[in-house]
Amino acid sequence: MACPLIDDVGLQFIERGCPSLKVIDVSRCEGVSSSGLIFVVRGHRNLLELNAGYCLSELSTALLHQMKNLNHLEVIRIDGARISETSFQVISANCKSLVEIGLSKCLGVTNMGIMRLVSACINLRVLNLTCCHSITDAAISAIAYSCRSLVCLKVESCNMITEKGLCQLGSFCLLLEEVDLTDCCGVNDKGLEYLSRCSELSCLKLGLCTNISNKGLSYIGFNCLKIHELDLYRCTGIGDDGLEALSNGCKKLRKLNLSYCNEVSDRGLGYIGRLEELSDLEMRALHKITGVGLEAVAVGCKRLADLDMKHCEKVGDSGFWALAYYSKNLRQINLSYCGISDMALCMVMGNLSRLQEAKLVHLSNCTVEGVELALRACCVRIKKVKLFAPLRFMLSSEILEILHARGCIIRWD
């Protein structure tokens, strides 16, 4: 994987030298082409997994001819390659044992190709169609009808998927655990209602889905009680009422992204504070929240380990004091562009005994002396820190030397 010194010549030696080979991963190996993979495939008809993501420009006719013999293949990833209708014909006709296929950013993926593929590969459990922009509801319907055992579907940036496709998923793919609908602008509240029938969902990504609202999120909150990861990045229609429904139902939520959800206020963060298992929270640029909201999160989410609140400019010191007192499990924090004071910064950096990484760029209410004191308070344990670039020439050489001596990586922004 990502080995710059591996090329087609080297793969020739594998053809007859590794008779028991079951798995080959040449993803991101820039020196490998279809010619090299032919050697691997030709010598190993019992291959179970072939990962050639982002190393092939296209699936050549010669390679496809050799793939006809891979009757036991279970996993194939050819992300980033150009793929033809012939490719789908060969794979569907000969690789019927497939349980996972990766076609992320592949050129040439069409509805017809996907229909042909899933009509034969009915045991698929993982399907990655990220950035396959030609995919529509027709392909999603075919997937849903044929692949009843599907547990993971990734269709990021497939903008022609609508509630019709999600209706089919919610009707037939009831074992789905992970769905990535990031930047699928055709997804709306009705679509989420259909999708919420998939009660096994544990990971749902809805970032940049600007046509969903609190109503749609409430369906997820009421029905998908096993969700532990939810991405609502830039879902501008989501506000406090949606978070209330989420907190009432999704008690197992561990990772949540609310960045740029501009309608979320302190009331919404109060509901988030009810999620006792939450460990990872992104809430960048929530301009309506104050120290009251942050305090509710700090008090309620005792397991919080990663907090990103960049550009939360209205949060005052009361919130940061609460963070310093209650959030003892924090390991990573981003306070860049926040209105924290010198004293509060020192308390946060000094009291959080498990903190390993901090981003402290452009703290307009902090002085150079305040930042230096904060760094001294945490220099024993901090592993990585990001600072405002001009501070490189303002902080004392002593504190910089101490940090370097203890293995801390400093990034300047």
Residue 11 pLDDT exceeds 90: no
pLDDT for the residue numbered 1: 65
Q: How far is CA 348 from CA 304, 361, 405, in A?
A: 14, 15, 23
Residue 272 pLDDT exceeds 90: yes
pLDDT for the residue numbered 44: 84
Q: Which of 68, 64, 72, 12 is nearest to 43 (CA)?
A: 12
Q: What percent of the chain has pLDDT over 90?
A: 85
- Lowest mean pLDDT of 42-46, 147-151, 205-209, name the range: 42-46
pLDDT tier at 2 (50, 70, 90 boundaries)?
A: low
Residue 170 pLDDT exceeds 80: yes
Dihedral class, residue 182 (left if φ above 0, else alpha if ψ from -120 to 50, else beta) = beta
Q: Are strands 409-412 and 384-387 parallel, antiparallel or unpaired?
A: parallel
**Separation between Cα atoms, residue 172 and residue 49, nearest integer Å:** 27
First-to-last CA distance in the chain?
Answer: 31
- The predicted model gives 193-200 an average pLDDT of 98
Which tens digit of pLDDT belongs to each residue from 321-368? 999 999 999 999 999 999 999 999 999 999 999 999 999 999 999 999
Please provide the average confidence, as pLDDT, over all residues in the chain. 95
pLDDT for the residue numbered 310: 98
- Lowest mean pLDDT of 18-22, 173-177, 299-303, 408-412, name the range: 18-22
**Separation between Cα atoms, residue 178 and residue 180, nearest integer Å:** 7
- The predicted model gives 187-205 an average pLDDT of 98
Residue 43 pLDDT exceeds 90: no
Q: What percent of the chain has pLDDT over 70?
A: 99
- The predicted model gives 163-173 an average pLDDT of 98
Which tens digit of pLDDT belongs to each residue from 100-133? 999 999 999 999 999 999 999 999 999 999 999 9
Residue 19 pLDDT exceeds 90: no
pLDDT tier at 313 (50, 70, 90 boundaries)?
A: very high
Residue 269 pLDDT exceeds 90: yes
Residue 6 pLDDT exceeds 90: no
pLDDT for the residue numbered 35: 87
pTM of the entire structure? 0.95
Residue 45 pLDDT exceeds 90: no
